[in-house]
Amino acid sequence: MMRAAGGNWLVPLADLSLILFIVTGGALNASLGRPEGAAPAEGVAAAIHVDVPGAPPLEEMLADHAISEGERLTVLGYYAQGDRTDVAQRAERLADEAIAAGIEPRVIVQPAAETLVIARFAHDADPGLARGLQVIEEE
């Protein structure tokens, strides 16, 4: 029986690559756009704009990102205690920039351990709010 020489290193290399991928993904998820204690977003972000001093304007991301079918822009505002008004204003400013670019965003502002405002494109599921409700007209 003949064996291919040198092929034994492929399986450990694949295992190590997968471990590195998982660790890197976890680190990026923790560092890009989700403060500790905040609820996770519904879909995986295809593009993220973090609203911090010195960041490029949102319109650059909107111009550079080719929106695929089913993607939705969500502006997320996370606020620490005492920062709600500022975060809500920043989130609405980003939403206004998106509307000016022809994109209707969803805006979510919620409490978290730290303050952060981001805009993200993702294939989020339709939340289906009030789907089961029926309007009953009175005669």
Higher-pLDDT residue of 50, 14? 50
Residue 72 has pLDDT above 80, yes or no: yes
Q: Which token pair is 98? A: 């998106």
Q: Convert the pLDDT of each residue in 10-43 to its tens digit.
A: 778 788 888 887 777 766 655 555 555 444 446 7
- Above 90 in pLDDT, residue 125? no
What is residue 41's predicted lDDT score, i.e. its pLDDT? 47
Among candidates 72, 81, 133, which has minimal Cα distance to 108? 72
Q: Give the 3-state DSSP-derived string for the chain, with helices as H, strands as E and coil as C.
A: CCCCCCHHHHHHHHHHHHHHHHHHHHHHHHHCCCCCCCCCCCCCEEEEEECCCCCCCHHHHHHHCCCCCCCEEEEEEEECCCCHHHHHHHHHHHHHHHHHCCCCCEEEEEECCCCEEEEEEECCCCCCCCCCCCCCCCC
Q: For all residues of the chain together, what is the average pLDDT?
A: 79
| % of the chain exceeding 70 in pLDDT | 72
Q: Higher confidence at residue 79 or residue 123? A: 79
